[in-house]
């Protein structure tokens, strides 16, 4: 399934907000912008992080109960993989839409891809340390980073 240009623009407009540990507050990831220093500090030695959700597979709205069940399944998978994660939300300023998500570290790219495929996600937001935040797209012909 190809992702429409309008959907790609929505990803670019989204603020990917992360609740940091303890009193560090919140941080915001934006596609094409550097990874915030606060998130780099949380990453520690991990080479990359990914902003992922199990909500709304293929960007199709689902019932709240289905979304919550899918997100709980994702959390169980992350615990089994011994990944670190932080609570997060995707939102577009000025719009009502909010999508609960997680910022995940300590997973290799192939594991992140497997989780995204398993939960039928169109994309994840990812970043390597000291690099711009990127969108990783999942389509019938494979995964690619924009």
* Domain that includes residue 120, residue range: 5-145
Backbone angles phi, psi at 19, to 5 degrees: -90, 115
pLDDT for 1 beyond 60: no
User: Which two tokens mark 6?
Assistant: 């309008």
Q: Say how many domains are in the chain.
A: 1
**Residue of 144, 139, 127 lying closest to 3 (CA atoms):** 139
pLDDT at 4 over 90: no
* Tens digits of residue pLDDT in 9-64: 888 989 999 999 877 789 999 999 999 999 999 999 999 999 999 999 988 899 99
Per-residue confidence (pLDDT) for residue 142, from 0 to 100:
65
Q: Does 81 score more than 90 pLDDT? A: yes
pLDDT computed for residue 24 by the predictor: 72
């Amino acid at each position: 399934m190809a992702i429409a240009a309008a959907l790609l623009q929505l990803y670019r407009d989204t603020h990917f907000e992360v609740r940091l540990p303890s009193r560090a507050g919140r941080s915001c990831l934006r596609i094409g912008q550097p990874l915030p220093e606060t998130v780099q500090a949380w990453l520690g030695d991990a080479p990359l992080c990914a902003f992922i959700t199990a909500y709304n597979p293929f960007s199709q709205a689902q019932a709240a109960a289905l979304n919550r069940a899918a997100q709980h399944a994702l959390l169980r998978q992350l615990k089994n993989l011994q990944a670190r994660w932080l609570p997060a939300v995707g939102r577009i300023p000025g719009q009502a839409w909010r999508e609960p998500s997680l910022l995940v570290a300590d997973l290799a790219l192939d594991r992140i891809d497997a989780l995204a495929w398993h939960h039928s996600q169109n994309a994840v937001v990812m970043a390597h340390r000291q690099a711009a935040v990127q969108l990783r797209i999942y389509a019938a012909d494979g995964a690619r980073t924009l």
